[in-house]
Amino acid sequence: MSDRHAQTGHGAFLLNVRSLNKPHKRWRLACTAIYAVRVLLSLNKEIVAMKNQSFTGLLRTRSYAAIDIQLNNDANNQVILSNVGYQNIIHFVKEKNLEGLRQFGGVHQVAAALETDIDNGICGDDKDMGFRSNAFGANTYQKPKPKGFFHFVFEAFKDTIIIILLVCATLSIVFGIKEHGWKEGWYDGGSIFIAVFVVVSVSCASNFRQSRQFDKLSSISSNIQVDVVRNGRRHHISIFDIVVGDVVCLKIGDQVPADGLFLDGHSLQIDESSMTGESEPVEVDSSRRPFLLSGAKVVDGYGRMLVTSVGMNTAWGEMMSSINRDTNDRTPLQVRLDQLTSYIGKVGLSVAFLVLVVLLVRYFTGHTVDANGKREFFGGKTKFNDVMNAMVRIVSDAITIVVVAIPEGLPLAVTLTLAYSMKRMMADQAMVRKLSACETMGEATIICTDKTGTLTLNQMKVTEFWIGQETMWDDVKSRISPEILELLHEGVGLNTTGSVYKPTSGWVPEFSGSPTEKAILQWAVLDLGMNMDELKQSCKILHVETFNSQKKRSGISMTKDNRTIHMHWKGAAEMIVQMCSSYYESTGVEKVLDENERTKFKQIIEGMAAKSLRCIALAHGKIPIDSNNENIHKKLKEDGLTLLGIVGIKDPCRPGVKSAVEACIKAGVRIKMITGDNVFTARAIAIECGILKPDQDLSNGEVVEGVEFRNYTLEERMEKVDKILVMARSSPFDKLLMVQCLKQKGEVVAVTGDGTNDAPALKEADIGLSMGIQGTEVAKESSDIVILDDNFATVVIVLRWGRCVYTNIQKFIQFQLTVNVAALVINFIAAVSAGDVPLTAVQLLWVNLIMDSLGALALATDRPTDDLMDKKPVGHTEPLITNIMWRNLLAQALYQISVLLILQFKGQSIFGVNEMVRNTLIFNTFVLCQVFNEFNARKMEKKNVFEGIHKNKLFIGIVGITIVLQVVMVEFLKKFADTVRLSWGQWAVCIGIAAVSWPLAWFVKCIPVPDRPFVSLLPPFR
């Protein structure tokens, strides 16, 4: 059955309301009937107006909401918005159309249409969730299609060098087949084709795999956690599990997870700059600005919202689906390596050009011979095909020298080691948001850390309570007067952003909110007998001053009888005490707080702080309501208050944090603790964590307060900042000031932060480390790395991984430059003196594969070792190639050049072999030298290169694969690799020559090198 009323207009809406379950049917039908009558009356008035005012011509009509009431008794009994009605809701929320919302009936009418109980949220069972997801969509957006494997193949074949090699290979095949036929003619060119294919495939497979890894980490970083109310209970869920109709709880630092409408809250301010570009925050309320858009950030206050649209139905979803997140940002290390690659490439190109010129001159002047010892070029008598084959071979050899010379493996090695470290760091509870942070962390010289949750467990519990100057713990409820107990209930239960959920089954209540709020709520409910539901029903909150790290307090004004306004403050004990002029005793007697009494309270607070307790004070004030102070509740009274009591909250230090701090200090990284607690609590925790020594003289400025540091002149700050180890009662601005001072002094600064106000310091720091549990979304977005378990020990693990990344890259640079120098010098000398290159194009491509792909995999995946923390930080100014690396690579390169040149010019006479066997010996020895040198590269300073090798199974596997493939190349792919089979004795000679690199490396590491870089020892250019 349906009664349809239609009235068109630009704001018209259509609502389908089907019958509900019996408990809900009556009130819903009543609402529907009332609403329908309102529409009919409006239509009647409009018709009368049109008749009476027909002479006015065209009348501007108003828009109305049209209702479709359908009563049926199906099994589901769901309330369903028609598609037209739901699209209108999406539209007026997205467009912030207040008139459209009013015409619909307001926020409560939208909630009723979406089957949402404003107080208790949606039902939230599987059936309800499935229905809402199917009807309104999921809170995800369509991401651009990820790059496939063939994208990387296509990119690889854009390389000019690869194209030239393929052209040479094609010409070689064409002329080879024309001269020798299909059976024999394709070998030379086909070998180059296969070699290029293998090199490109390995490189593309590595890039494709790392791309997938980065996409996976990106999706993890997008998985924001939010608080929702379902079936009266607060849940912590993924942003992707939000559905239309959900009631979401918002607090400072949260990201708005979907489009919706404001339900209730206080002082809620939203930063919509990511959507609108406006930098000024927007205040949200229920009357003028009830609209909340996905992607915005909460910068102040708290509140609850009703989700009206999710995923692709939001403006944020539409925008994000059109963004191609192609991370082409280069890290600082990659930029330095690009410069190094460019320089080496120019050198290689110059050598290749010289080789090309020398070989062409020698060929056309008749100084080259073929395999049979006959002269190759006889002027006009030489066949065109022979000339072209020779030209193709010469060009291929020259181009292949460029391929070997250009260390394209360096970017691959950086990508591999960064991706590998990111994956491992994720397992170690650290999520990397910016690649550059992986390497920069290895350069860190100072870590500025928070206390709560980072150095401590963030498992807070009230362990001490003072009322007046009397401490009480056992049976607190019976020892306090009812009037004071009621004020304590109000001060705790109303002045909070936390909540209490009492299960109907009678289990222990569940507490939600920040750790501090949960600790105080738990104490008030379990020890003081507070009933939060009754409290909220009996009291009316008038105004809220939300907590911020600047004032370190929060307050509310409320009334119970509309005759008196009560004000409750809660915050840092010494600050609250300063706002009070009197205090209550447990009996309810109010006493004056004179200077003598203030001194006593100061001693109480200092005594609690010395026990590492966080001191929170509660204060109360009241004023009568009259016609002259109607708006007084909008600004809370901040003086003349009465102190209710002081609560001491214990937050124990994390196990292992002291050893982590000691490891940092040993590694040359200084730790500075920045906290909002008072000086005495901060000092006690710092001693417990090992940042300060128990007997340390603190008269030299090791411990300061934020206001003191803030009031220094710039010169004083720069002078004293190095000495400061603990900053207490600090604000986010103080933290930012410290970071700026340290950076100006040339330090590489890492900063931890969890609050919205920490964002400037996190951005300013060289490495921003946000907290995954307590950190706000604003802090996480401003950071480079998210510490998922909020543990300082994880920060130390990140430091180890940062140093490991840097060291792994240096290992690979040393390994690759050794091959580059040896290959270039050998081919150049051989080409100039003998008119032939001992290493062919296919052989050099195989060496290139060993260096770039397999070498990068082997050396870039070493895990951090303890000795990394024995070194001092490298800082920003240290050269990438150190004196130790120059010593190692030059020694190995000179050895390889000497041995291979001896084989080139004297090998045939020494071993009594022909030219083919000699060239095979050179190729085999050269490759085996790289295999043995790969072990040397693992330890740049230590003489024992086998230490910890059993832990890196990938390294052992790659070395094994390399040796097996080398045997196959020499013994079975003779025509492909232009080699001949070697005897057991010849293999032993090759292995023996290559193995000398081990004792050579041991001997070379005994040679001391100066700390000052070699480059700086050169005379300046004038």
CA trace torsion 356, 359, 361, 366 (10° rounding):
-160
Q: What is the 3-state secondary structure (H, E, C) of 703-763?
A: EEEHHHHHHCCHHHHHHHCCCCCEEECCCHHHHHHHHHHHHHCCCCEEEEECCHHHHHHHH
Cα→Cα distances 783→262, 324, 431, 473, 763, Å: 29, 21, 11, 42, 7
Residues 269, 300: contact at Cβ < 8 Å?
A: yes
Q: DSSP assignment of 313-365, as one string?
A: GSHHHHHHHT------PPPHHHHHHHHHHHHHHHHHHHHHHHHHHHHHHHHHT
Pairing of strands 247-250, 282-283: unpaired
Q: Is 342 left (phi over 0), alpha (psi -120 to 50) or beta?
A: alpha
| 450 counts as catalytic | yes
Catalytic residue among 227, 254, 300, 450: 450
Stated as kind and residue range, the H or E segment containing 68 is strand 65-70
Residue 35 forms beta bridges with which residues?
A: none
Sign of the C-alpha dihedral computed for residues 991, 992, 994 and 998 taken in this order: positive
How many other CB atoms are there within 10 angstroms of residue 574's CB atom? 21
Upper half-sphere CA count for residue 836 (Cβ side, 13 Å)? 18
Q: Let me know the angle formed at the C-alpha of 139 by 772 and 127, rounded to the nearest 5 degrees.
A: 110
Distance (Å, rounded) from C-alpha 267 to C-alpha 543?
Answer: 9
DSSP 854: I
Query: Is residue 886 within a helix (H) or strand (E), and if so which, with residue range?
Result: helix 883-911
Q: Report how far apart, in Å, the C-alpha atoms of 432 and of each of 237, 238, 446, 578, 785 are.
A: 22, 19, 19, 43, 4
Among candidate residues 791, 799, 788, 789, the one with its CA nearest the CA of residue 748: 799
Give the C-alpha separation, 721 to 742, whole Å.
Answer: 7
Q: At what angle do helices 792-834 and 915-938 cross, to 10 degrees?
A: 160
Q: Which tokens sit at 799?
A: 């430091």
3-state helix, strand, coil in the chain (%, to 5): 55, 15, 30
Q: How far apart are CA 236 and CA 917, in angstroms?
A: 71
Alpha carbons within 13 A on the beta-carbon side of 238: 10
Give the whole-angstrom CA distance, residue 418 versus residue 415: 5
Q: Tokens 């049209």 — which residue?
A: 66
Q: Is 16 left (phi over 0), alpha (psi -120 to 50) or beta?
A: beta
**247 sits in which H/E element:** strand 247-250
The 10 Å Cβ neighbour count of residue 926 is 26
The DSSP line for 406-421 is S-THHHHHHHHHHHHH
Q: Which residues contact 568 (CB under 8 A, 6 or more apart)?
A: 487, 490, 491, 494, 495, 555, 556, 558, 618, 619, 620
Which helix (H) or strand (E) segment is 267 a member of? strand 259-271
Question: Which of the 8 DSSP states describes residue 456?
Answer: B
- Of 278, 287, 247, 755, give the one whose Cα is nearest residue 546: 755
Tokens 């290979």 correspond to 169
DSSP state of 375: B
Residues classed as catalytic: 450
